Structure 1
C-alpha cells in the first residue's frame, strides 16, 4: 500500500506469464522480428509524431507560414503537399524506431492506432468512470469546480476548462495541469505503458483499476496523461489515418490487415518493406478475421445509382437485397480431427470481435447457440468455407425478425435451451469468400452466389441464404423499398452482380438505400424542444442534440396553467452551424440544469419514473422554447420516451418561428396522425431527400404540411353510434376477421362513434383496452409482457349489439367472455371463465339460436345424451325464446337467478333533518334488501359482500338510495371497466318482480 492509500500495482493479480505467451507467439510467428534495444520513451510518440501531425491540420498565417522545414532529399517543405509532409513525419518516426529500437514496431503501433489492436481486450472504461478514478487519485472534492468539470465533461465550464468541453482528454489535461505530480515528461517507456495497459484491460473492478491509473499519474506529466486517456478511450485523432500509417510501413500492410484484422501480424510479417506478399498470401485465410466489404451510401436518384454500377446492354442486371437489422458476421469452418464432428468453427463481427464462444466452435459444442444445428447444413464434399452474412434475431412464434439489440440475449437463451420456441439467432448468408482451399474474392458476385447455392443446405430459421431480386431498371427499386418500409425493415442494398469482393472497402458496387434518406417515408412533425444534450468532439461545448416533446392536453395542464410535454424523441441530425446558432439565439438564458432529485415534472415528464430515461443535461419550459420541424423514417414503440412511441431516425428540417408551443403537435393529435397516415403514404410520389447536402437558400418557403391532417385523410364512422365505450381508451392493433371483416381504421372509427378514445400504443393512457384478431409483432410483445389482456373485436360488436337491444343502457358494457379473448392474463382466466356456463353460454348477453346450436355441438361429448334429445331440447328452447318475448315463459324458481353473482348495497347514514323518519326509511330499505337477498339465494344466485368481487354481475340498490351515494357507487363500478365483468346497476324491485313473475324481467325497467 502506498503512502497515499492507493494499492500498489504489484498487489494486483498477475497477468499471464509472459514467457508462456512469448513461446506461443514464437511458434505462431517463427520469423517475427526482435528489437535490439529498449523501446522509445512514451513521450516521443506525441513529441515527434502526434503533435507534428496535428500541426499540419492548422492553416499557418503570418510569420508561421514563412517558417518552412526541409523535406526529404533537401527539398523545402514549401514544395511538399500536405499528404507528402504527413508521410515525411511518419517516415522519420519509423526510421528512428528501426535505428534506435529495431524492426518490431508493434509496441508503438498498438498505441498509435489502438482502435485496430484486437489483441488487447476492451478496458470497460468510459469517460465518467475515468473521471471518478481521477477525482479519487488527485483527492479532490467531486463537487469542486475541477471535480464537477471532470464528471460533467460535456458541460461548458466557467473557466479555462470551457475550452475543452466535449473533449474529455483535453478537460483532464486542464484539471491535471493545475496539480501535476510532474511538470517535465516522465521516463516511462512504450513497452512499460503497454504492459500496464494489458493489466488495466484485465482489471474489472475499481480496486484493480485504481492503482494502475495512479501509477500513470505519478510517472507522467499532464500532456502524457492526456494522450494515454485518448489511447484508453481509443479516440486518438492524430491527424493521420491507419491507411496512411500502413502504407508508410509497408506496401502490403493495408492488404494484410484487410484479410487478417491483425495489427500484430501486419507488424511482424511485414517488418521488411523489401519483402512483398506472395499472390497466395493476399487472399482471405481460414480462421483469420478479414475486414468485410461495406455498402456505399449514395444521395443520388435511383437512376444515377444504377448507372454507377456500370450496366451494359448485354447485362443491365443489378440485384436488390433487403438490408437486415442485425450484426454483420463472418463464419469460418475448417476441418479438425481433434474435435467431435471433425469440423471447427469461428465467428467474427465486422469490428473483428470474436463471437465463437457464443455461436459455437464445433458441431457438438454444448455452448454453441448456432453450430449444433448445422450438422446437415453443408453439402457433401465441403471441407472448408468462409461465409459473409448477417446474424439477426428471429422469433419463431411471430415468424418474423426481432429488432436489433436482442441478439446476444437470444443467443444466450439458445445456449441454455437449444430447442425452445423463443427468439433465436438466425444467420442469413449473402456471400461466400472461400471454399475448399480456394479464395473466391476475385470471382464475380454472380459466380460466388452460384458457389454458395451449391455448397450449403439451408436450415429453416437457423441458417439460410439471403434472397435477392433481379432488376434491370431503376423503376423496380421503388416497390421493393415501399414493401420493406411497411415492414419496418432497415432498407435495401443494391449490388452489382459483375463485381468482385472488395475487402475493407466501400464501393459503388454495393449501395445502400435506407428509408430515412427518402422524403416519402418521413412525416413532417412540429415538436417542442424541452431539453438539450451537450456534445463532444467538434460539437463540444454546446448543445448538439435536443430532447423534443409532445404537448399534453390534460386536466392538470389546463388547471395549473403550466404547459406540459411528454418526452417523444431526440433530434441531433440535420443541423447546420447556422441552425444551432438560431436555436441558441432564441433560447439564450432560458436553459436550466436538470436536477435528477427535483425533476421539473410539472413541465416535462420523462419515461421510467424515477429512472428518468433519456434525461437531458439541461431543460427549458415549453412556453419559453422553440418549435422544430422534424421528419423521420417511421414511428416505433419505445419505453424510453414518455409518449410510448418515438421517431425512428429523426432529422431536423427547419426552425418553426411562426409557431409557438400551443400550435405544436399534441399527444392526441400525433396519435390521430399516425392512425391515418398510411393511406397518404401510399398516394405520395417517391423522391430522394437531398437535405444532407449543403442547404441552398430558397427565395420562397415551401409550405409545411403535417401528414395526417386535411380532409383527404378523414374517414367516415363505420357503424352505429352511441356511448357504450364512453370513458374507455382503446389500442386497436389489427383488423377484424370474424364475425365481421373490418379494417383497423374502420374499427377505430367504430370505437370513436361509440364514445371511445383511440391511442396507437398501450402505454400512453391508463387502462387501455387492447384489441386484436391475429398475432403480429406488437401483439406478441404485449403477450410476452403478460400484463395486459388482448380482446378480440367480437367483443366490440357484441357490446354495440347488446346496447341496441337494451336501449338506454349505453353506459354499461358486457363482461368479458373466453370467446372474446385473444390473450388472457393468468390472474384473470378464472374470473373471465365464470361469465359463461361450462359450455360457453353467456350469462350477461343475448345468445342467438346459431350460437346455441354451436353450444350444443360442444355438449355432444357428454355421456348418456343423445343427439335427438339435444335437437328436441333445442326446439323447445327456441319456442321458449319466442314465448319469452310475450312474457309467457316460465322458469323453475330454484333456477331463476342461477349463474348470477349479486351484491346488495346497504346505504350509509343519510344525515337527514328528521331522525325518526330517517330511521323508519332505513329500516324499510333494509327489510326489502333482506327479503330480496333470501329470494336471490334461493333462486340459485351467489351473494357477495363487496362490489370489488371480480365475479359480480349485478349491483342491487334500494330505490331510495341518495343520489350522491348512487353516483359514488357508479364511479366505483366505472373504474373497473375493461378488466372484469361490469355489474348491472338495478333496484331491489327487479328481484321482487322477477320472483313474482317467475322469469327474469327486462333489467332496463329497474335500472338505477
Structure 2
C-alpha cells in the first residue's frame, strides 16, 4: 500500500466524506495487485498471510490519518466490499452479465464483430473460442485487453466503489444511459489486470482460493459470527477495527437483519446420538419462507433468511400490508418490542390448508389468489429490550407464549411434542410423509440460539435424507450448458426431458423439457460423462431449434448445445417433489433435483414419458417419498440387538390422489335426458361440488364421462385453471366450460346453451358461432340477459377499456358530457379509508357494526374508491363521530407523510352530496375528547 502522507488543509474533507478518506488515497491497482498475488500463491495459510499484511498496513495508515479518533466512520469497508462482493446487499441489481460486458468491450476497443477477439469475448464458454480460459470471462477478457490497455489505471478504491454504486442504483431506476456511462468510465481508466478483477467483482466471483470465512478470520476472529448476526458488512468493518477487542455477546438489535439459526441434516437413526440420549422436541417442518419479524411499538419489519426485506408486502404499520393489519392486535399489550423467528406460509381460509412449493405460490408477493399470508412462529429472540439468544429454547418458548395470542390463518405458534428415541423420530417422519409435509425438526430444549450455524442443537429430518425413501426418475439428457471455473471447457449442467409416446407404439420422436440439473456428481464422473458424449453435441440454434426437442414457450435459458436423443443417455434423478412450472414444456419440474447415477444399462428410449410424470405427481400430490422407514433390531454373536433401519413400501399408496379419481357410477340412476348423447371430461370442481359429484350429475342427467378428452368429447368442464387445463387450452381444439354452467343446467333441469361468460376457453368453431350472436364484450344481439350476465359484461368492459383510464380522466369525461345533470362522479377523484376495520386490542373481532359500512356503499354510488388499507394514495379517512379512539393515531400517521390526507366525519359527505360539489374538509375534521389522548 502506498505511504499515506499527513493531511494538509487542502486535503481536509467534510463530515460526509470522512468515511472514505483512506479509500480515496489507495489506488484500485494496489487491491488488484493483492488479489493477483493471492491467486498465484499456493496454500490457504500463505494466502491468508498476504491478506493479513495488507489489512495490517491499512490499519496502520488509518491510525496515522485519524490519530486515534474513535468516532470516525472511516474503516476497511470500502476494500472489504470489493473482497467479498457477493455480500454487498446494496449491489444486488447491477443488471450486468458477461454478454453485456463483452459487447461494451467490443465497442470500446472498436473490434469488428467477426474478429477473433470479439468472438472470444462473445463465446467465452466455448472451448475452441476461449482456449485455456473456457468458462472464465474475466480470464478471456484479460488476454484480449492486455496489449490494449495502460500498464496502470488511475482510479482509487473510492472511485471504483462510487461507480459501482451508481451502476446498481441507476439500474434499479432503469436509467440505462447512466449505467452505460459509468461502465465505460471504468473500462477506459483501468489496466488489463484491474479490469480482470473488476469483472470478477461485478459477477461476484473472485476465485482467489480464499473462502468468505477465511477473509473474515484474517480481519477479526469474531467477524464472521458478528456478520451472521447483523448481515451488515459496513458495521462489521467499523466496529471491529481493532482485532484485539473481542465481541462476547451477540448483538442482535431491532430492525437490523441477521441470518437465522439453521438445522443440521439428520436421519431418524441418528436422533438419540445427536441429542445425547436426552429428551428432545419434535416440530412439523412447514414448506414456507423463513422470515424474521421485528416489532417496535407501532412499527414492523420483515426480513428473509438472506437478509432481504419484505416489509412492503406484509406491512410496516397496522394500516398497510397484507399481514400486519391482521396480527397487530395479536401482540399482548405489554409487548413494546420483539423479534420473532418463523415460517411465512400461504393459508387458504375456505379449505383451511397451507400452500406448498409444488403449488407454485410465492407468499412474499402482495397478492396471491386464494391464499393469505400466515406467520408460523417457532422462536423469539428479543423481548422488550432484552436479548434472549443466550437463554435455552425451553425458556424462550415461555416468552413466546407471553408475547402473542394466536389467530388461525394469521399468526400461529409452532406446537411441539417431547421425544426420547430414534423410534419416536421415525414415527414422526412417517406421519409427516402421510400428511405430505416437508419433514420434521428436532430441537434440543437446552439449545441457545446461534445465528447462521447448523451445529447448535437443531436437526432437520426430511424423506430425501433417508436412502431408499424417495422415488427415482429416469430422464433423458437433451441439452447442455457450458461450465465456468473448474468446470470450464465442458458441459456442467444438463437440460433433461421426458418422452412423448408415439402413436404407433414405436420409439419416441419428441421430447419435452422437464428439468435442469447441475449437482450430485463428482468432477471425475462429470469428465467421464462429457468424454462419452463429446462427439455428439450440436450447437443450439435459437432460430432453428431441433424438431425432436420442445422447450416451454418463452423459455429464456436456451441450452448452449443439444443432443440427438438416440445419441444421448439416461440419468437417474432424485428430488424432493414435482412442482408446477411454466419454464418447462411438461408444465412441471423438480424441486432440489440431483443426479444419482448415469444409467449405462438403459436404452435412450426407456426414459420416463410425460404421462409417467403426471401419474407420479398425482400419487402423492407431487411429493416423491415412496416408502416408510422402519427401525428394528437384529441379534448378532457379539451381544444384544443393534438397531437397523430399512425402508418398506407405504401400506396405503393410491395410484391416484382422491381429488383426481373417477367417480363410482355403477349404482347411479338416470333422472333426466338433458345431456343425452354428450360426452364430458371433468377436470375439477368447486369446493361445494367435487369432480366425482359432478360426474355423477352428468350420468344422472343422461350424459357420459371420460377421464381424457377425445374426438367425441362434447366439452371439458373445470372450475379453475390448473396445469392440465392450461395444456388443453394450448391444444386449442376443445371447448372448456366453467363448472358453474354445468351446475346451472342441473339445477334448472334444462340444457342451457353456452354464452361467452360460461367459457374458460373457446374452440375455433365455437368462436365463429359467438361472433355471429355476441359483441366483443359478450352481450347477446338477440337474447335478454340476467343481472349476473350484465355484471360479467361490465367486468369485461372494465378490463378492456375503463382500466386504461384513471379516476381523474374518468372525472373529466363525466364533467364534459354531464356538466349539470349527473352527480354520480362527485367523489370520483377521492380514495376513501373507512375507520371500521380492526378493533384495537381484540384479536377475535374483525369487523364492528358501523354506519360507515352503509356510507361506504353510498360513496361508491357517487364514484368514490374505497380501500381497506391506509396506503399512500388515500385522500380521506372517514371516522364515526361516536368512536374517535384512533384519531390521534391517524394524525400521527399523517404527520409522517409527504402526501397528506383529510380526516372527516359523515357530516362532510352529507354536505358534499347536498351541495353537489366537494366542499372544504377542515370544518368537518373531528376533535378528540380530552379522555382520548
Which band: TM-score by shorter chain?
0.5 to 0.7
> Unpaired segments of 5 or more residues in structure 2?
1-10, 67-74, 632-646, 669-677, 730-734, 755-764, 771-933
1:287 equivalenced with 2:272 (yes/no) = no
SS at match of 2:198: helix
Counterpart mapping for 1:835-874 below 5 A = 840-841=748-749
Query: For the residues of structure 1 that align with 2:590 and 2:23, how far apart are their CA atoms?
Result: 58
> 1:497 & 1:334 partners in 2: Cα distance?
28
1:320 aligned to 2:245? no
Match of 1:164 among 133, 149, 169: 133
Partner of 1:16: none
Equivalent residue for 1:388, pick from 341, 346, 349: 341
How does 1:119-134 map onto structure 2 within 5 Å?
119-120=90-91, 122-134=93-105
C-alpha distance in structure 1 between counterparts of 2:24 and 2:214, whole Å: 26
Aligned to 2:379, the other structure's residue is in SS state strand
Match of residue 518 from structure 2: 572
Q: Which residue of 2 aligns with 1:11?
A: none
Q: Which of 70, 74, 83 is matched with 1:112 structurally?
A: 83
Give the corresponding residue for 2:107: 136
| Equivalence for 2:296 | 334
Deviation at 1:22, TM superposition (A): 7.5
The structural deviation recorded for 1:463 is 2.5
> Of residues 222, 234, 255 in structure 2, which corresponds to 1:264?
234
Q: Please say if residues 532 and 619 of structure 1, whose CA atoms lie closer than 8 Å, have aligned partners that are also in contact.
A: yes
2:37 maps to 1:52: yes
Q: C-alpha separation between the residues in 1 aligned to 2:36 and 2:767?
A: 79
CA distance in 2, matches of 1:22, 1:311: 62
Please state if 1:663 is matched with 2:663.
no
In structure 2, the CA distance between the partners of 1:525 and 1:252, relative to structure 1 (3 Å rule), is closer
C-alpha contact (below 8 Å) 1:37/1:101 kept by paired residues? no
1:229 paired residue number? 199
What are the superposed Cα offsets for residues 335-375 of structure 1, whole Å, 9 maximum, x if unpaired?
3xxxxxxx2222222222233333332223x3x33322233
- 18, 21, 28: which one pairs with 1:42? 28
Aligned residue among 183, 199, 216 for 1:213: 183
Is the contact made by 2:661 and 2:692 (CA closer than 8 Å) also made in structure 1?
Answer: no
CA RMSD of aligned residues (A): 4.6
Partner of 2:527: 581
**Selected match of 2:157 from 171, 174, 190:** 190
* Structure 1 position 596, deviation (Å): 0.9
Is the 2:471–2:626 Cα contact (8 Å) retained in structure 1?
no
Give the secondary structure class of the aligned counterpart of 2:292. strand
Inter-partner Cα distance in structure 1 for 2:472 and 2:300: 48
2:445 is matched with which residue: 489, 493, 497?
497
- Cα distance in 1, alignment partners of residues 738 and 308 from structure 2: 50
Contact 2:359 2:579 in 1 (8 A): no
Name the CA distance, whole Å, in 2 between partners of 1:831 and 1:236. 57
Q: 1:551, 1:667 within 8 Å by CA — same for their partners in 2? A: yes
Matches within 5 A, 1:959-978: none
SS for the counterpart of 1:209 is: helix
Shift of 1:432: 0.7
Contact 1:331 1:387 in 2 (8 A): yes
Is 1:455 aligned to 2:455, yes or no?
no
Q: Does 1:632 align with 2:632?
A: no
Aligned to 2:910: none
Contact 2:314 2:322 in 1 (8 A): yes
Q: Closer, same or farther in 2 for the Cα pair 1:740/1:436, shift >3 Å?
A: farther
Q: CA deviation at 1:813?
A: 7.7
Aligned equivalent of 1:877: none
Q: Distance in 2 between matches of 1:352 and 1:946?
A: 52
Deviation at 1:225, TM superposition (A): 0.8
Encode CA deviations 1:633-682: one digit per residue, 9 max, x unaligned. Answer: 33333332223333333332233323222333333455556667999999
User: Is 1:596 the counterpart of 2:542 in the alignment?
Assistant: yes
SS in 2 for 1:294: coil
1:792-803 → structure 2 map (5 Å cutoff): 792-794=694-696, 797-798=699-700
Question: For the pair shown, which has the larger CA radius of gyration, 1 or 2?
Answer: 1
- Summarize the Cα distance change of 1:505–1:410 in structure 2 as closer, same or farther, 3 Å threshold: closer
| Correspondence for 1:8 | none
Map of 1:179-578 to 2, 5 A cutoff? 180-182=148-150, 184-204=151-171, 205-277=175-247, 282-298=250-266, 301-312=267-278, 316-326=279-289, 328-335=290-297, 343-364=298-319, 366=320, 368-404=321-357, 411-414=364-367, 422-485=370-433, 489-507=437-455, 509-555=457-503, 563-578=509-524
Residues in 2 aligned to 1:392 and 1:138: alpha-carbon distance in whole angstroms? 52
After superposition, give the CA deviation of every residue in 1:50-93 in whole Å (9 maximum; x if it has no partner). 233333446xxxxxxxxxxxxxxxxxxxxxxx53x344222211
Name the CA distance, whole Å, in 2 between partners of 1:790 and 1:22: 76
Secondary structure of 2:184's counterpart equals helix
Q: CA deviation at 1:456?
A: 1.0
- Seen in structure 2, the aligned counterparts of structure 1 residues 597 and 444 have a Cα distance that, compared at 3 Å, is same
Q: 1:741 to 1:210 in 2, by over 3 A?
A: farther
Cα offset, 1:452, TM superposition? 0.6
Aligned to 1:92: 53
Quote the Cα distance in structure 1 between the aligned partners of 2:355 and 2:198: 40
Paired with 1:484 and 1:149, the residues of 2 have a C-alpha distance of 52
Q: 1:294 Cα shift? A: 1.7
Pair 291,773 (structure 1): closer, same or farther in 2 beyond 3 Å:
closer
Q: 1:801 & 1:393 partners in 2: Cα distance?
A: 38
The whole-number CA distance in structure 2 between the counterparts of 1:685 and 1:411 is 33
Offset, 1:487: 5.3
Q: 1:465 to 1:253 in 2, by over 3 A?
A: same
**Contact persistence 1:320–1:471 (CA under 8 A):** no
Name the SS for the 1:588 alignment partner: helix
Partners of 2:262 and 2:454 within 8 A in 1: yes
**Residues 140 and 384 of structure 1: is their aligned pair in 2 closer, same or farther, counting only changes over 3 Å?**
same
Cα distance in structure 1, aligned partners of 2:397 and 2:613 = 45
Q: 1:545 to 1:223 in 2, by over 3 A?
A: same
Structure 2 partner of 1:605: 550
Tell me, in whole angstroms, the C-alpha distance in 1 between the residues paired with 2:581 and 2:123: 27
Secondary structure of 1:426's counterpart equals strand
Alpha-carbon separation, structure 2, partners of 1:652 and 1:254: 33
Contact preservation (8 Å) 1:622, 1:661: yes
Q: CA deviation at 1:597?
A: 0.6
User: TM (normalized to structure 1)?
Assistant: 0.61
- In the aligned structure 1, how far is the partner of 2:453 from the partner of 2:479? 39
Q: Distance in 2 between matches of 1:648 and 1:480?
A: 23
Task: Pick one of 163, 169, 174 that aligns with 2:143.
Answer: 174
Alignment length, in residue pairs?
A: 698
Q: Is the 8 A contact 2:497 2:512 kept in 1?
A: yes
1:641 to 568, 584, 594: 584
